[in-house]
Chain A
Amino acid sequence: MLSKINSFGLQGIDGYSVSVEIDINNGLPGMDIVGLPDTATKESKERVRSALKNSGFRLSPKRITINLAPADTKKEGSFYDLPIALGILNATEQLISDKLSDTVFVGELSLNGDIGRINGILPMIIAAKELGLKRIVIPKANENEAAYVSGITTYAFSTLRETVSFLTDEITAEPITVKDAYSAFCNFSHKEDLKYVKGQLSARRALEIAAAGGHNILMIGPPGGGKTMLAKCLPSILPDLSASEALETTKIHSVAGVLGAEQGIVSARPFRSPHHTASRVALTGGGSSAKPGEISLAHNGVLFLDELPEYNRATLEILRQPLEDGKVVVSRAARTVEYPARFMLIASMNPCPCGNLGSETTDCSCTPAQVSKYLSKISGPLLDRIDIHIEVGGVSYDELSSNDFGEASDVVRQRVNDARKLQLSRFDGSGSYCNAQMNNSQLSEHCKIDSSSETLLRTAFKRLGLSARAYTRILKVARTIADLDNSERIEKKHIAEAIQYRSLDRSYWQ
């Protein structure tokens, strides 16, 4: 008898419908899976055989053919264990249920018949809902992830036996209650808080501006200056994650398998800090199954590159296109996948190899040639995409030991949220979300400056030896500063402050 079960597979971060067809014939006993299965999928027959036996079902010695349709796309992973097992039961008439036709099944089986956790459940549920399917059965261990999608009835079971009992109406089961994504954010608290950052007033201010305008930021300073600490605080002052952003990020994390079992949804903006030995593939994503990389995991969040010049130059260069487009296309022999990668880049570096250049207390032991070699590791085009460079100086003992707390992240975030709201209404429908993404025409429309500011900029360029590329960057940052100030116009003081955030363009670096 022929049986057909609905299931889902993953293509990038989107689910697609796979139907599992099972036919049982007379012939030499055996089980064959067709439809381009990978090794994990092929091995499924061994798991299914044992799971069926240990759940108290029979497996008749016949020839079983399993087809995963569409037959021309590669099937990866162990999602199909559960549908295959149910399909065999249905084909051997051990399970007769009218629920089978409009229910989607995904799940991995263990040898004793338990249903195990799988990666990428969220995109599958969303895809199933969009296809108009009524029910989906998922592993119990994935239930937290499923709780944030409404419009489809989701059941979570922990064993094959339980699933069969549910399908044959021997037991009744309650579907998963849908939670509001917003509730996940409310009881969330950030690990790092700006109030514990001692001193560093200019760096705090620069972080606030960066967060408000979505500007990429580069921190330059000696070791031990608190660059990493500041970077870790950044997610806590970024604007709140919206429900759609949260689902999008969760989808990526779900596919990559980095989502914790109890976490369910990514409720805070992700903070990814790949080590500087990271390869190109680790950053963009790839591998035979074209998995998302660090920059996609940082989608809607922060990508922190500590010790920027230590990264392989070729690795850094691949960041250029994602920084511009907010997405990355990973092409592999088997497939081409597009992953979203709209992240804020925060990078840190020392001013020279020994780290003491310009220090008031310690001598720098590097030659000018060493310093310029170190700085030249970061290419101009990449630097062009970083709007704010600041210097983070050392913190004195007095500041460290003082008990005064700085402004808390919550207060700063409030201001950031307000500034972002202004930007959202300004760019409504234009495809940009924040000041950092302004294109040239938007720049000339929204960043008009009066003649006195123009004069100021001109003098600044001459006096401070700023390089030409600084011009648009200063305007964009000044726009954000004006937004934080709730000012419609960019005033002279906004321009003046923005000039402070172009450290690397200063002549003393050259």
Chain B
Amino acid sequence: MTDERKALYWLPSSGITAEKQNKLLEIFGSAIEIHKNVFSDLVKEYVGKPYAELSAMTENAIDTELKKLKADGIRLLLKGYDGYPKQLDQFEVVPPPVLYAKGNVELLNKPSICIVGTRKSTDYGKKVATQWSAELCEKFVIVSGHATGIDTYAVKSCLDNGGSAIIVLACGFEKFDFPTYLRDVDKERLLFITEYPMHMRVAKFSYQERNRLLSGLAQAVIVVEAPEKSGALITVDRAVQQNRQVFVVPGSVFSDRSKGTNKLIRDGATIATCATDVFEDLNVIVEKKITEKFIPKLSTEERAVYDFLVKGTRHFDEIVTALNLSPMETSAILSLMEIEGIIEKKPQNYFALSI
């Protein structure tokens, strides 16, 4: 083999870790050299289990695969060549020699921020992820692992609000199930990226390994909600190793889903209480949107409901009792106010002001 690019593609194709790939490259100097010495004991020892597959791979097979990649619209980003994201080229990140990318690779050159959190989010976490992502996506590309829960809320909200997102997969492209809602999104606003060869399935280790790229690609990581044991906390560890800024969203001290995040704060992490905090700490200037204060015109009963709800979220029964109205009248009034956007209905018959 004479083409270094081809040799680089060949190296991870059987699924050895980025760490081992880097080590081999260091020892032999180039991928071509590794290929030449593929039958040496040293390579055999390093590669381990997938050795048989790796050594058996012919140049013809590589050519066919490369053609197929091209046909599928998947680009290869090779370390040391143009287009490889600079932010990954750092020892602590353990940069993978090969990245598979599909979508707009220009997004890698833009400032980006990673939003992570638990899969089992509460309503609170969902709200934070959704609102912040909507604000942050104006200046940042959102980097996400696209797990259910917080990750997905952040991506959805970002795309709904005209932002762009980079999604880092924990498996090969062949094994990734593209979510339906992403199909209608403008291709220019999305980039999927992975270090794993096409046929590689997800595994527990691949999620953890992938997390280093999440923080590696981003300037900063925001943890929205995380229980004590959480994949999100692994991303935080990596971010700290990689010297990335970490923002933590505080949560209720009674909530299991905020135990991990609150512990991070106790350990000295930076608190963020709104998207503006993040902008300020990262020295990003956002023009203040001038929002006119909305003053609703209210009838007497509506005013009474408004005044009552100013004190906080209230149950339907409490509103009925406090206002001394019939349930029937109350329902109608609440509906009207809800439609006008003055209040919002919460699950289980709770109502709260929305402004």
- A residues within 8 Å of B by Cβ? 199-202, 204-205, 221-222, 351, 357-360, 363-369, 391-394, 399, 456, 459-460, 463-464, 481, 484-485, 492-494, 496-497, 499-500, 506, 508
Contacts and interface: CB of A to CB of B under 8 A. Distances in A.
A194 to B, nearest CB: 13
Nearest to A209: B328
B348 A500 contact: no
Contact of B347 (A366, A391, A460): A391
Interface stretch (B30-38, B45-53, B202-210, B332-340): B332-340
A361 B149 CA distance: 21
Given A357-B347, A360-B350, A363-B122, A202 B339 contact: no
Contact of B327 (A204, A456, A494): A204
Contacts of A484: 328
B120 interface: yes
A358 B348 contact: yes
Contact of B339 (A204, A369, A463): A463
A358 B123 contact: yes
Contacts of A205: 327-328, 331
B347 A358 contact: yes
Nearest to A370: B120
A372 B211 CA distance: 27
The 5 A-B pairs with the shortest beta carbon distances in the complex, nearest first, are: A358-B347, A393-B348, A496-B335, A493-B332, A496-B332
Contacts of A368: 119, 121, 148-149, 152
A5 B329 CA distance: 66
Contacts of B341: 463
A395 to B, nearest CB: 9
B296 to A, nearest CB: 14
Interface string B95-131: 0000000000000000000000001111100000000
A404 to B, nearest CB: 10
Interface stretch (B54-62, B82-90, B157-165, B313-321): B313-321
A129 to B, nearest CB: 47
B331 A464 contact: no
Nearest to B316: A202
A369 B317 contact: no
A497 B338 contact: no
A459 B122 contact: no
Nearest to A458: B339
Q: Main SS of the interface on chain B?
A: helix
A360 B320 contact: no
A497 B329 CA distance: 8
8 contacts: A364-B122, A367-B148, A367-B149, A391-B348, A481-B328, A496-B335, A497-B331, A497-B335
Contact of A202 (B120, B149, B257, B331): B331
B195 to A, nearest CB: 26
A201 B320 contact: yes
Nearest to B124: A363
Contacts of A369: 148
B168 to A, nearest CB: 20
B338 A464 contact: yes
B346 interface: yes
Contact of A499 (B256, B313, B339): B339
B331 A500 contact: yes
B212 to A, nearest CB: 24
Contacts of B349: 202, 391-393
Contacts of A506: 345
Given A222-B348, A365-B120, A460-B339, 16 more contacts: A201-B320, A202-B327, A202-B331, A358-B348, A367-B148, A367-B149, A368-B149, A369-B148, A393-B348, A393-B350, A394-B348, A485-B328, A493-B329, A497-B332, A497-B335, A499-B339
Contacts of A485: 328
A393 B119 CA distance: 25
B327 A367 contact: no
A460 B330 CA distance: 17
B241 interface: no
Nearest to B329: A493
B255 interface: yes
Interface residues of B, number: 36
Contacts of B148: 367-369
Contacts of B335: 460, 496-497, 499-500
Nearest to A205: B327
Contacts of B332: 493-494, 496-497
Given A368-B149, A393-B349, A201 B339 contact: no
B239 to A, nearest CB: 24
Contact of B313 (A360, A460, A464, A494): A360
Contacts of A202: 316-317, 327, 331, 349
B348 A360 contact: yes
A67 B123 CA distance: 73
Nearest to B255: A363
Contacts of B348: 221-222, 351, 358-360, 391-394
A494 B334 CA distance: 12
B149 A201 contact: no
A201 B328 CA distance: 9
Contacts of B340: 459
Contacts of A459: 339-340
Given A201-B320, A201-B327, A204-B327, A358 B120 contact: no
A416 to B, nearest CB: 14
Contacts of A463: 338-339, 341
A508 to B, nearest CB: 7
Nearest to B122: A363
B350 A367 contact: no
Contacts of B119: 367-368
Interface in B271-330: 313, 315-317, 320, 327-330
Contacts of A222: 348
Contacts of A391: 347-349
A510 B141 CA distance: 26
A485 B326 CA distance: 13
A494 B335 CA distance: 10
Nearest to B254: A363
Nearest to A204: B327
Contacts of A351: 347-348
A88 B331 CA distance: 72
Nearest to A491: B332
Contact of A500 (B120, B123, B313, B334): B334
Contacts of B149: 367-368
Interface in B247-282: 255-257
Contacts of B122: 363-364
B1 to A, nearest CB: 45
Interface string B130-161: 00000000000000000011001000000000
Contacts of B334: 500
Interface string B228-257: 000000000000000000000000000111
A399 B328 CA distance: 20
Contacts of B121: 368
Nearest to B347: A358
Contacts of A500: 331, 334-335
Contacts of A481: 328
Tell me which of B149, B332, B333, B347 has the highest count of chain A C-beta atoms within 10 A of its own C-beta.
Answer: B347
A358 B327 contact: no
B313 to A, nearest CB: 7
Nearest to B152: A368
A153 to B, nearest CB: 53
A250 B166 CA distance: 67
